[in-house]
Structure 1
Amino acid sequence: MAALFDRGLGRRAMLAGVAGLSCVAARSRGAWAATADAPETRQPDPAPHARVWGATHSPAPDAEVIVLDHAFRGLLAGNAVVERVWGHGQWLEGPAWSAQGRYLLFSDTATSHQYRYVWETGEVTLFRPESYHASGSAFDYQGRQITCEHVLRRVIRWEHDGSVHVVADRFEGQRLNAPNDVIAHPDGSIWFTDPVAGPRMAGQHFMEARRAEPAGSGLPVRAAGDAGAQAATPQDHTFRVDASGRIDVVLNQQQLVDPNGLCFSPDFSRLYVASAARQARHATAHGKGSAKEHVWQDGDLSVHVFDLHAEELPLSNPRLFTNMRFEGEQMSPDGMRADLYGNIWCGVSGPTGKAGVFVFNPEGQLIGRIRLPQGVSNLTFAGPERDWLFMCAGSTLYRLRVSAQGCAPS
């Protein structure tokens, strides 16, 4: 499994590799020296040592929090260090902060469990024993949990009375692929990405989820094998479901291939969307001697930004925010969130020593890094003041106190 991380593979490749495996303990890959007043200097330690990840075992300032621009220093909270909160998962995803419940929700996509980190006690408890391999989650502006159920290929919302409302599971009569990440807008709309890799991953987990189905869960009998959905050519889309339930494509696959993480700017005037690693598409040639062939289409492993206009679609002014290249290496972006200053905090996978979190200013300049032993699938700001950054990295949940407040429903 370490080889998977070393090659910088994203969450989907990891999901295929971790199902059925035991937990993997987080290990440090060694620290590189970086001063507080200058950009990082790539000088490896003569004898890299294994870091003891915990709440009190790392000296401050933390060598894994790397200042590349003075602006990043103002986003850091004094002598805060990266803490290892919990390390008993397989592939953690979808952290989301409940301001009303004062807990952090996160999922283990590989085991299909959802967990809750209780703020007052620091205890991690099992929240839902069967989440249908939930991926991204968010809380809306009424405090309701919204989750992408990977294996059921739908987005759901848990109502205050405990009932489940299906936000979206089809578009134009076809099943969704497998929604990946989701965010809420103050106008009541829900925005989510639906990359084409979904049917393959949903099929891998379908039988396991079927066996675990509780009575009355409403699991569709043909959830992973809907004939109509499989007959159609899969389409990458980024969707918006408005408050009335109308679903619209905000970005199609010609505009952005293989959409992954997404977030709004603090004033909701911009939408940021990551394009993930390339995926295999299947095209069937009809007629005599027909054969199924693999058609490769590349996501560009970049983050793109689009302008939003209230109550208006489509989005406008598409442009590259960052190409995610760092020191000659192509990094892979995943989940991301904005702080109130407009900086974008993005989880990245890549070569050993470079994976973790990249922080960009509103102009797309990389101003700082948080280096972790594994790539970060997703992250969020949490805590009563939303000034703790929680990061899901492989089997482990980390956190860091920051001096910026994240954008989120309060």
Structure 2
Amino acid sequence: MGERIRDYEIFDERFRYYLLGNCDLELVHDGMKWCEGPVYFSDGDYFVWSDIPNNRMMRWVDGLGVSVFRSPSNNSNGNTRDRQGRLISCEHLSRRVTRTEIDGSITVLVDNYEGKRLNSPNDVVVKSDGTIWFTDPPYGIMSDYEGKRSPSETGKNYVFRYDPKEEKLTVVADDFQMPNGLAFSPDEKYLYISDTGATHDKNGAHHIRRFQVKDGNELSGNTVFVEVNPGISDGFRVDIDGNVWSSAADGVHCYSPGGELLGKILVPDVVANLTFGGKKRNQLFIMGTHAVYSVYVGVAGAQYP
């Protein structure tokens, strides 16, 4: 057990520098079925997230509150932005990755691999070279709750890299039980990917793995970075110091670049995902199962969306 201070639990003295003494966890919005896929729009000072079973995306604007951003959303899950500021979304129901253009139109980027439909794209990140990296577990085809129950056509749970310039989709990892959240280190030398196999296997994986990014487009050096307890690392983000802020059953866990647990932000809801936002990128928006929370911290998120 660490030292409990209000909404925080400290396991390493370094975590104190990431806490702001007058900032506590705040409820942003509740009454949803399952919050996921947060993405912050710095140019508009608002953030968007997915409410997967309700088949909609929501938007929060500081001072104006919450409204529906898109409905239906094809049971969207993970979201991010590319380097041109366009929204990239993973859709469970349609089993595809899409891009929302500046004029609001939607472009289908990828929906199959070698002629076989994707499972249900889950989470996504865009590298500085414009390539799109995403995970493809079968959560959206295992039942009708967050997609549509269907058989897997690929027969595998891949991690993909998509190059929109060449319109080329390649497998970068194929040995995950349930590949889920992913994020690059600030210098993009490493890619972190979580495996949430424990959701459907009591002895399954509940860890984050770290890969070296080779030549900008391949992965090597697979190692287990951390095992997350309690719960799983569904989604996570990296800050400018290289720390990994991960979802867990009891809140948000902060891990150093070396994999040490620095501390926790305790949340009264199982956390699925999070993102950095705000004008200085130092406001964490936390996706609880049924509610969204926020808290300011003493470090900014990495520059990528």
Whether the 8 Å contact between 2:92 and 2:141 is mirrored in structure 1 is: no
1:130 alignment partner, one of 72, 77, 82: 72
Q: CA RMSD in A?
A: 2.0
Please state if 1:238 is matched with 2:159: yes
- Match of 1:377, SS state, is strand
- Per-residue deviation, residues 10-59 of structure 1 (Å, max 9, x unmatched): xxxxxxxxxxxxxxxxxxxxxxxx9xxxx327xxxxxxxxxxxxxxxxxx
- Match of 1:74, SS state, is helix
1:406 paired residue number = 301
TM-score (norm 1): 0.70
Whether the 8 Å contact between 2:141 and 2:147 is mirrored in structure 1 is: no
Whether the 8 Å contact between 2:81 and 2:88 is mirrored in structure 1 is: yes
How much has 1:392 moved relative to structure 2? 0.6
CA distance in 1 between partners of 2:270 and 2:197 (Å): 14
CA distance in 1 between partners of 2:134 and 2:217 (Å): 17
1:248 paired residue number = 170
- Match of 2:18, SS state, is coil
How much has 1:206 moved relative to structure 2? 5.5
TM-score (norm 2): 0.93
Please state if 1:80 is matched with 2:1: no
Please state if 1:274 is matched with 2:174: no
Please state if 1:109 is matched with 2:52: yes
1:12 paired residue number = none
1:265 paired residue number = 185
1:58 paired residue number = none
How much has 1:236 moved relative to structure 2? 0.5
Looking at CA atoms only, which structure, 1 or 2, has the larger radius of gyration?
1
Q: 1:299 to 1:240 in 2, by over 3 A?
A: farther
Structure with the larger strand share: 2
How much has 1:122 moved relative to structure 2? 4.5
CA distance in 2 between partners of 1:231 and 1:303 (Å): 24
Code of the aligned partner of 1:339: D
- Match of 1:333, SS state, is coil
- Match of 1:72, SS state, is helix
1:383 paired residue number = 278
CA distance in 2 between partners of 1:310 and 1:136 (Å): 26
- Per-residue deviation, residues 65-102 of structure 1 (Å, max 9, x unmatched): 12211111111223210001111212111110012222
> How much identity, in percent, do the aligned residues show?
36
How much has 1:320 moved relative to structure 2? 0.9
Whether the 8 Å contact between 1:196 and 1:234 is mirrored in structure 2 is: no
How much has 1:297 moved relative to structure 2? 9.9
- Match of 2:141, SS state, is helix
Whether the 8 Å contact between 2:40 and 2:277 is mirrored in structure 1 is: yes
2:211 paired residue number = 306
1:342 paired residue number = 242
Whether the 8 Å contact between 1:305 and 1:318 is mirrored in structure 2 is: yes
1:366 alignment partner, one of 255, 261, 264: 261
Long gaps (5+) in structure 1: 1-33, 42-61, 208-223, 281-295, 350-354
Code of the aligned partner of 2:208: V
Q: 1:333 to 1:168 in 2, by over 3 A?
A: same
How much has 1:278 moved relative to structure 2? 3.9
- Match of 1:321, SS state, is strand
How much has 1:401 moved relative to structure 2? 0.5
How much has 1:104 moved relative to structure 2? 0.4
